[in-house]
Amino acid sequence: MPTSIQRRTLLRGAGVLLPLPFLNLMEASARTAEPTLPPRRFLTLFKPNGVHPPSWNISGGTEHDFRMSPLMQPFKKHRDDVLILDNMGDFGFSSHANSTRRFLSGHHTNTKAASMDQLIADRIKGDTPHRSLELTTEGLFPNQIGCSYISYDKNGAPMPRESDPQLIFDRLFRNPLASPTHRRRMSSILDRVLEDARSLSRTAGSEDRRTLDEYLNVVRESEKRLRNMQQAEPKVDVSRFTRPANAANLDQQVESMLDMIELALWTDSTRCVTYMLGNSNSRMIFDFLGITEQHHYLSHFFRNFSRTNLESLLKISLWHMEKFDSLLTRLKSRREGDGTLLDNTVVLYGSGMGHSDNHTVTRIPIILAGGKGLLKTGRYVRYSENQELGRLHIALLETFGIDVDTFANSVDSLPGLNGSDFEPYQERAFASWVKVEGIQITVQGRIRMSDNLDEAKVFLVDVEGQPPVRVEVEFRDFHNFNLAYHCGTGITLTGTGSTAGDQYIIRKVTELKSVYGRKPGTQNG
Amino acid sequence: MNFSSKISVGLAVSMVIGCPLTASGGDFDQDVKPLLGKYCIKCHSGEDANGDIDFSTISTTDDVDAAFETWESVVKHLQAGTMPPEDERQPADNERNRIFAWYESFVNNIEAQPAVFKPRRLSATEYRNTLRSIFGFDLQVAIIEAEQTVAERSMVLKLLPTDPPGRSGFQNDTHQNPLTTVIWDQYSFLVDAALEQLFSPERRAELRTFTGSDRVGDLTSKQAERLLRVFLLRARRRTLPESDVAQIVSRLQDKSSAELLATVKFEIKTVLMSPAFIYRGLLVTVQREKQQSVDMFELAERLSYFLWADMPDDRLLSLAADNALAEPTVYAAQIDRMLASPKARSLADDFAVQWLALNEIEHVSDNVPQMVALKSQPIDFMHYLFTADQPLLQLIDSDIAFISPHTSRHYGPDARQMTRYVKQKGIEVEIVPNQKIKLEHAIERGGILTMPGVLAMNKGPIQRGAWILERVLGQQLPEPPADVGQVPPNSADEHLTFRQRFEQHRSNPSCAVCHDRIDPLGFALQDFDRGGQYLRSNNYRPPKRRKSREQPADTKSQIDTSGQLPSGETFENITELKQILTTSQRNAVLRNIVKRTMSYALCRQLMINDRPTINLIVEQMDETSGTWRDLFHAVANSVAFREMRRSPDN
């Protein structure tokens, strides 16, 4: 359509990127008959600042027999609709920005190409008025700009984000094309202002007339556009939708946005949505939860440890989980065809990192939901080895019928999402023991974080036949030896500390070796 | 006070030229044009005319008039001997005098006249402020503006394209910035959003200012009528004839109570989408005379868009309606009242920021609280000068500064005047408001030139010098030629300072034309490193080198800050340069201040007929050591501001 091309050219000429309320609608004229099957959608919800691993991880359990972790309790009722992936991520450490880039782009060096959501949007957009929505809650973080984006266009440039539910509502449902009523109203406005401008014009001098001509041209152009834009009868009467109220806090803002996502998908206004619950290093303050510290500060729960701080952090993480629950509940509430909106939507929920203080990228929270017939949900899939996110992305692209040989640095698809075979994680046996030579203690066993919230900085090494060896070290040792990375695996750890009966405490680490040779941080992530 | 339209400008001319003029009169075509052809046109014509000055396009009297600033600089160059360049043929003394004589009569014959009044579209900032003043609330974007993040909170500024600066250099000069369908769509969207809000439960209080009473359920027809009447007065920014109002109000008749709301919304939207709202000045009363005083509502609007970038408030509108604004004491009292209002902050936020290019400070640091601290210093300072009745030349040097914990390290012991800042637990870095301090030790920081953010936004001595020349002294510089290379680094056995290397590099006379003016100013600031730190302070910390192959910065002992201006004054350092700017260059600085303020106030490029007014105000400011308040009064009382000419065929 010439009009739409013209307007885009104009924009480019001005050299600015504008959020355009009506631009996408220009394309709506090409809209054809209703498809017989409900369309497939893709939806991503991003959780900032990682997790406190002992609260998130599922300990033990198998594909069909597992217990959801404390942080998963808010969406426990959706157990049959979710597919919990574990051992995702493969970096010793990562910056916030890089871990965020990887979330949908496979690898942080993949900076010249589209993120996977955009590839999916291109494939499934059909004739929807809005190709995709990129949503967020928080302002841009210029100091590490990569913390603010997960969606990137085909050149690898960040997609502008939208945060305001009212603006999204107006854009989707209150534009002149949204309903015949809106169109008629716009048309009468144009008639009236034309009348006004003409009456002014009769008395105007040449300077005024030049201005009025400029004005009249624009109004006539708008009339022409309105006339040219044919529209199919909307399948839902959108004029009945209620505009979201002003949000008094983050919770209300997010709840309203989830409403908008539900409506946008249900009315088939768009089929691809990405939503960040905050920047990946979010500085937001959850005052409505009674918390006065910044989320990012609290997320460094080792460095800034106190029981109260940790509880605040968990409250925030639980809130994130509640929003995921709220989203799934909404999608399930909409009937579509023989099933629900959730059945026709593949949902990806997760974070960029695991351990939020050390920025360790192992066992990062990744959950898929919905996608009936595409995903086999109701399972817990823990892979035998740490997985690149790029493999997951290839698998999801395939789910939407996009075959790629490679994505970012990854070359093959992650198995198991649709119930296909995968190699599950298995504990490997090894001997565990403690040795003491003078003040030096050496222990071999499986290392884990204490799940006692009063001592969240403490690591425990399990040794058969005696109390676990306690590792109570300063941040420097925690970080330099990357204790968080080795959690759940066998290590041989040497250090100094104290002994009281059969209770050993290591306070200074001098050496750490992985029993199976795992080495963190070989890539600068 | 009103300025008479005929003013002798002889004094100002001799100040510009600096020498007595003997011959008088002269004709451009006979006396000047041939000389331009002989000495200038070789370089100054055609598409790549040097310095963007093309004499070949000047032929009619109007062209000559429009080029008045060019003639001023021609005379300056001839006087200083900087043009034609020394390797070109030079005009004889009698030829030079012919040009001087023509120029004197040219300038002497100019009358102070207002411009033809051209309507202009509200700038995005004005549109935002005006919408806010009409409805009583701001259209805000829902976004969490956490510390260290940036977000556009204004829905208007988010949706409307950023206005490019007009020919005046200011964004409120929208004459070359036409309405487009894109902007039209955004206006429509914004008005809808405002209407949704006005009738939402959260805006009950604001709605009551229109309806006079609380809405219970549907609007009553009485409420609807009052709402429209109040709205029309605000949105039209003037009282309309009762017949016009009655016609609009009559559309409410015979509407069921359910239809009333839709009708009211429709009427409001048509008014806000109409040309009389979107453009300024379409409703001005035009009299038969070619030149006339603007009507009182227009005067009120001119004043409020100048001092507030916003529409007139109720007080101003009612004084306009009563014709009381014509009374000089009332008018003056309104200016003072408006300068005391929080809305006068727009003078700093818009006028000063655009004039001094302070938005450039945003590129200095990605760390938002640090960047905001650096940028807010000059803005708070300018706001103080504007609204606390401070002398104009405090711009150059002052003993007042605005600092926060993020900038306090630049202020040595003076920083102790701040009340102690205690960061709240769990907040990593945050924006901290400035506090006003008196400079007792860090006196090198006084005035706008040596504020850390201003020093850091201009990269290196050349940018710093060009900034002072253009923004403070008001001289125009052409774009630098595209083929200038980089200054070569020291080779292994060289130990030259940047200044020495640069002076070798630019020894070409055609470079010298501009660089003789730029460089002394810029090198005077070499005591400040690229981040704006003062090298001579006791706690100076050298910045880290960004790249390993980067040349080390010059050390304190190597640095030479002395220089000589083309006009002859010499100085040792920035303190002495500031002194020159406030004494022998005082007139040039004042003149630039007056011109920039006039351009902003008039929302247009200055014309030849503004010149007598400018001269008069400069003279007045010079003689009385005028303050910013004095200047705002003088501008608001000038012919250009209070009067208009109508288009020739009106």
Instruction: List per-residue pLDDT tens for chain A, 525 residues long.
Output: 332 323 222 222 223 333 334 333 333 433 444 456 899 999 999 999 999 999 999 988 999 999 999 999 999 999 999 999 999 998 888 999 999 999 999 999 999 999 999 999 999 999 888 999 999 999 999 999 999 999 999 999 999 999 999 999 999 998 877 777 888 888 999 999 998 888 887 777 777 888 899 999 999 998 888 887 666 556 677 878 889 999 999 999 999 999 999 999 999 999 999 999 999 999 999 999 999 999 999 999 999 999 999 999 999 999 999 999 999 999 999 999 889 999 999 999 999 999 999 999 999 999 999 999 999 999 999 999 999 999 999 999 999 999 998 999 999 999 999 999 999 999 889 999 999 998 899 999 999 999 999 999 999 999 999 999 999 999 999 999 999 999 999 999 999 999 988 999 999 999 999 998 877 755 555
The answer to whether A215 contacts B179, with C-beta atoms less than 8 Å apart, is: yes
- Name the minimum distance, in Å, from the CA of B116 to any CA of chain A: 8
- How much is the pLDDT for B112? 87
Interface residue of A16, A189, A310 to substitute, partner B, most B CBs within 10 Å: A189
Write the residue in A174, A207, A222 that is nearest to B184 by C-beta.
Answer: A222
Write the residue in B150, B183, B650 that is nearest to A140 by C-beta.
Answer: B150
Contact A216/A194 with Cβ under 8 angstroms?
Answer: yes
Residue predicted with more confidence, B231 or B508: B231
Q: Mean pLDDT across the stretch B566-578? A: 94
The answer to whether A283 contacts B425, with C-beta atoms less than 8 Å apart, is: no
Classify the phi-psi angles of B216: left when phi > 0, otherwise alpha if psi is within -120 to 50, otherwise beta.
Answer: beta
Contact A44/A274 with Cβ under 8 angstroms?
Answer: yes
Whether residue B368 is contained in a domain is answered as: yes
- Name the minimum distance, in Å, from the CA of A66 to any CA of chain B: 36
The answer to whether B184 contacts A219, with C-beta atoms less than 8 Å apart, is: yes
Interface residue of A211, A224, A253 to substitute, partner B, most B CBs within 10 Å: A211
For residue B262, give every residue at least 6 positions away whose Cβ sits within 8 Å of its Cβ, in sequence order, or none. Answer: none
- How much is the pLDDT for B3? 40
Write the residue in A141, A166, A296 that is nearest to B193 by C-beta.
Answer: A166
Residue range(s) defining the domain that contains residue B132? 120-280
The answer to whether A294 contacts B158, with C-beta atoms less than 8 Å apart, is: no
- Name the minimum distance, in Å, from the CA of A384 to any CA of chain B: 39
The answer to whether A205 contacts B649, with C-beta atoms less than 8 Å apart, is: yes
Query: Is there a single domain that holds both residue B73 and residue B172?
Result: no
Nearest to A260 by CA among A353, A96, A135: A135
- How much is the pLDDT for B480? 73
Write the residue in A136, A189, A208 that is nearest to B282 by C-beta.
Answer: A208
Query: Is there a single domain that holds both residue B248 and residue B145?
Result: yes
pLDDT bin (cut points 50, 70, 90) of residue B83 is confident
Query: Is there a single domain that holds both residue B247 and residue B368?
Result: no
Query: Is there a single domain that holds both residue B269 and residue B417?
Result: no
- Name the minimum distance, in Å, from the CA of A397 to any CA of chain B: 31
Write the residue in A16, A143, A192 that is nearest to B366 by C-beta.
Answer: A143
Out of A233-242, B58-67, B400-409, give the one with best mean pLDDT.
Answer: B400-409
Give kind and range of the element (H or E) at residue B197: helix B181-198
Residues of B in contact with A220 (CB under 8 A): none
Out of A229-243, B554-568, B626-640, give the one with best mean pLDDT.
Answer: B626-640
**Distance (Å, whole) CA B593 – CA B587:** 10
Contact A315/A462 with Cβ under 8 angstroms?
Answer: no
User: DSSP string covering A137-152, please?
Assistant: SB-B-GGGGGGG-S-B
In terms of DSSP bridges, do strands B435-438 and B400-403 run parallel, antiparallel, or are they unpaired? antiparallel
The answer to whether B184 contacts A18, with C-beta atoms less than 8 Å apart, is: no
Query: Is there a single domain that holds both residue B249 and residue B391?
Result: no
Whether residue B403 is contained in a domain is answered as: yes
pLDDT bin (cut points 50, 70, 90) of residue B6 is very low
Query: Is there a single domain that holds both residue B527 and residue B574?
Result: yes
pLDDT bin (cut points 50, 70, 90) of residue B649 is low
- Name the minimum distance, in Å, from the CA of B271 to any CA of chain A: 8
The answer to whether B149 contacts A222, with C-beta atoms less than 8 Å apart, is: no
- Name the minimum distance, in Å, from the CA of A481 to any CA of chain B: 26
- Domain boundary among the residues B280, B310, B344 is at B280
- How much is the pLDDT for B648? 66
The answer to whether A207 contacts B142, with C-beta atoms less than 8 Å apart, is: no
Residues of B in contact with A173 (CB under 8 A): none
Place of tokens 């408030």: B313
Contact A483/A92 with Cβ under 8 angstroms?
Answer: no
**In chain B, how long is the greatest CA-to-CA distance?**
94
Query: Is there a single domain that holds both residue B231 and residue B128?
Result: yes
The answer to whether A214 contacts B178, with C-beta atoms less than 8 Å apart, is: yes
- Domain boundary among the residues B251, B280, B309 is at B280
- How much is the pLDDT for B561? 93
Residue predicted with more confidence, B465 or B214: B465
Q: Report the length, in residues, of chain B.
A: 650
Query: Is there a single domain that holds both residue B566 and residue B455?
Result: yes
Domain count, chain B: 3
- How much is the pLDDT for A284? 97
Nearest to A230 by CA among A320, A333, A309, A129: A129
Query: Is there a single domain that holds both residue B99 and residue B147?
Result: no
pLDDT bin (cut points 50, 70, 90) of residue B88 is confident
Write the residue in A18, A189, A222 that is nearest to B161 by C-beta.
Answer: A18
The answer to whether B649 contacts A206, with C-beta atoms less than 8 Å apart, is: yes
Write the residue in A145, A193, A207 that is nearest to B273 by C-beta.
Answer: A193
Whether residue B572 is contained in a domain is answered as: yes
Query: Is there a single domain that holds both residue B371 and residue B460?
Result: yes
Say what the alpha-carbon torsion angle B414, B416, B420, B422 is, to the nearest 10 degrees: 80
**Distance (Å, whole) CA B140 – CA B190:** 11
- How much is the pLDDT for A230? 60
Query: Is there a single domain that holds both residue B157 and residue B244?
Result: yes
Q: Mean pLDDT across the stretch B508-537? A: 88
Could you read off the pLDDT of B39-49 as tens digits, one per residue? 888 888 887 77
Please compute, for residue B384, the number of CA atoms within 13 A of its CA located in the half-sphere on the CB side.
20
Find the residue in B nearest to A313 (Cα): B426
The answer to whether B142 contacts A204, with C-beta atoms less than 8 Å apart, is: no
Whether residue B590 is contained in a domain is answered as: no
Q: Mean pLDDT across the stretch B612-641? A: 97
The answer to whether B185 contacts A189, with C-beta atoms less than 8 Å apart, is: no
Q: pLDDT over 90 for what percent of chain B? A: 63
Residue type at A483 in one-letter notation: L
